[in-house]
Amino acid sequence: MSVFPAPETLRASLVLALVIAAVMMGLLSQRHYSRGRALSLVALGFFVWSVQTLLSPLLEVWPRWAVVLDLAATGLFLVVVIRLIIKREIAATEQKYRSMFDAVSDAIFMVDLWTLKVRDANQHAQRLTQRTAAQLRGVSFLDLCPSLRESGTNQLEHRQMFNAVFKPHNEFHIARADGTLVLCEGETSLVPWQHRPVMQVRVREVADDGKVHQLIRRAEKMSSLGQLIAGVAHELNNPLAVVVGYAQLLAKRKIDDEQLRADLLKILHESERAAKIVRDLLSFARPCEPQLQPVDLNQIVANVLAVRDAQLRASGIQLEKHLAAKLPLTKADPIQIEQVLTNLVANAIDAINTRPAPRWLRVATAEVGLNIRVTVADSGPGIAPDIIGRIFDPFFTTKPPGKGTGLGLSISHTIIEEHKGKLWVESAPGQGAQFFIELPIVPCEAPAAAPVAAAPVPTAEPAARLLIVDDEPGIRDVLQAVLASNGYETDTAGNGKEALQKLDAHRYDLIFSDLHMPEMSGEQFHAAVEARDRRLAKRIVFVTGDTVSPQTRGFLERTGNRWISKPFNISAVEDLVRTLLREARSPEAQLADLYATDRPRPPAARPER
């Protein structure tokens, strides 16, 4: 009996082995490593099995060769597996390199030293030249950088030529696909690339000097203007507070003369309008950092529209409200976002009122990608193309004189930018306008609902003595009139030093103090009172017309004291006084006063000798 298999079996085994080997080699060359790796290993197993089947009769005769065959099969298997692993790691490394290569902020060109042709380019290089990576590969770098058009025939000359152009702080031009030249600067270095040295050219665009100086001058002017506006707004707040305060006091009285009462209401309306203009000026001059917290934009939108509901119905404007269900939360300053939405809705109402029909306002919220979008659309006349690019500029307005300051949209744009968001407009003449706000979705927990305080039981005004500290006589007088009308005993002081003298002579339950005063500021006065009586220092209410500067906000946050802004609402002042006096006379507060150890005792009198 022959040890060799039949010819038909031998031929079939050889054909099967060759087919499996061909399939295996084909799979090894595939770029889809996950599928190719699995199928290749299966094919390798079949190949080894076929060979062993083919040679099994021989191995029975020569058993030593079985060991050799097993070792060869194992070695072949390991070689294939290692090759697959290496190819996978190379692919991962190349992908990582490409990601880093494209993430670099500079434009990078890999240039062949001999031919000066571009071998590769990152995404910034593609944007700079307005060409794709495929279009850049094979292009001579001389066509991209006209400054390099000098003689050069070998590596050394090419290297010298690049060094002459790409010197530190040396500027040159890069040609775009449309033929325009972009002013750039950059540097070169030799790096290994695909087993041979290439020139790595790093290029960055530089702004035109004229534009840079123009931007610097504009920034300096805006800074100076901001300081001027802040000073003027602060000075305006004091007389405004006096006018508003006395107008509110008069409005609380019974006035039989209807014409006089109507005139008084006009004074109140116009003074409050002036106060809003001053607040806008301060917000523009000293934008404050947002106080971020978890917010539901649907709730803020609903609050703004609820306030404007009566105005919309009176103007015959149809409101279309589309609030997305299960809208994600974001982190924002609810007061500032409400300010932005209020401004956009007010502008939309003004625009709608300039047209007879149609008259509608649409407000919608939606989740768009990783952002939350709020849309405010109106049926107004739209915005002309020649001015739509200027509507976010400070002091630019299309409203008639006396109807707007041109600061609302500028302040809104700044607020949204401070929130890492975007605010933009889309409009066409005669087709209304759409304003879009986008804020990033921030994973956070919903804010806890504030406990509903029980309504206070009406009681008679408790007897109390209050001290008013302000360098403006008008502010002292109007506050004294408001507090005296509620039955409180009051004293006044023109500065912090005078107030400390009064504290030496009398005991006060509450203190109203200005922040910006000569001789002794409100901050210094607070420190002096705190050294005497910490609990009384907590009952200082600060009165200021500058609540947007970082220094003022920082001080108020550190102390945690209550404060009111000029011009103030006298009803809010009255409520605040009642609240603070009620807290001060609670059993807990009285017990704390009884056992307080930080209040200094008067020094004992020394016996005369």
Cα(278)–Cα(235) distance, integer angstroms = 10
- Does an H or E element contain 314, and which? helix 297-314
| Summary mean pLDDT of the chain | 76
Task: Using pLDDT thresholds of 50, 70 and 90, give the confidence band for residue 605.
Answer: very low
Q: What is the phi-psi region of residue 430: left when phi exceeds 0, alpha when psi lies from -120 to 50, beta otherwise?
A: left
Cα(533)–Cα(507) distance, integer angstroms = 11
CA distances from 171 to 133, 168, 531 (A): 24, 9, 62
What DSSP character marks residue 146?
G
Q: What is the pLDDT of residue 310?
A: 82
Identify the residue whose tokens are 């005296």.
484
pLDDT tens digits, residue range 379-420? 998 888 878 877 887 767 766 655 556 677 888 888 898 888
pLDDT above 70 as % of the chain:
67
Burial class (CB in 10 A: 0-12, 13-18, 19+), 58: middle
478: amino acid identity, one letter: V
Span of 74-88, 263-277, 443-457 with lowest mean pLDDT:
443-457
Q: Which residues pair with 120 in a beta bridge?
A: 110
Cα(315)–Cα(350) distance, integer angstroms = 10
Q: Above 90 in pLDDT, residue 513? A: yes
327 closest CA partner among 364, 359, 355: 364
333 closest CA partner among 449, 233, 447, 454: 447
* Three-state DSSP state, 445: coil
Span of 73-77, 201-205, 494-498, 598-602 with lowest mean pLDDT:
598-602
Torsion of CA 141, 142, 145, 150, to 10 degrees: 140
Mean pLDDT of 18-47: 55
CB-based contacts of 162, cutoff 8 Å, min separation 6: 148, 188, 199, 201
Cα(275)–Cα(248) distance, integer angstroms = 14
| The residue count for the chain | 609
Span of 38-47, 255-264, 295-304, 453-462 with lowest mean pLDDT:
453-462
Q: What is the pLDDT of residue 446?
A: 66
Tokens of 399: 């409203």
Span of 265-269, 446-450, 544-548 with lowest mean pLDDT:
446-450
Q: What is the pLDDT of residue 453?
A: 45
- Give the residue with greater pLDDT, 322 vs 280: 322
Cis peptide before 462 (omega within 30 of 0): no
- Give the residue with greater pLDDT, 217 vs 429: 429
| Angle subtended by helix axes 522-532 and 496-505, to nearest 10 | 20
Q: Above 50 in pLDDT, residue 588? A: yes
- Does an H or E element contain 284, and which? helix 258-285
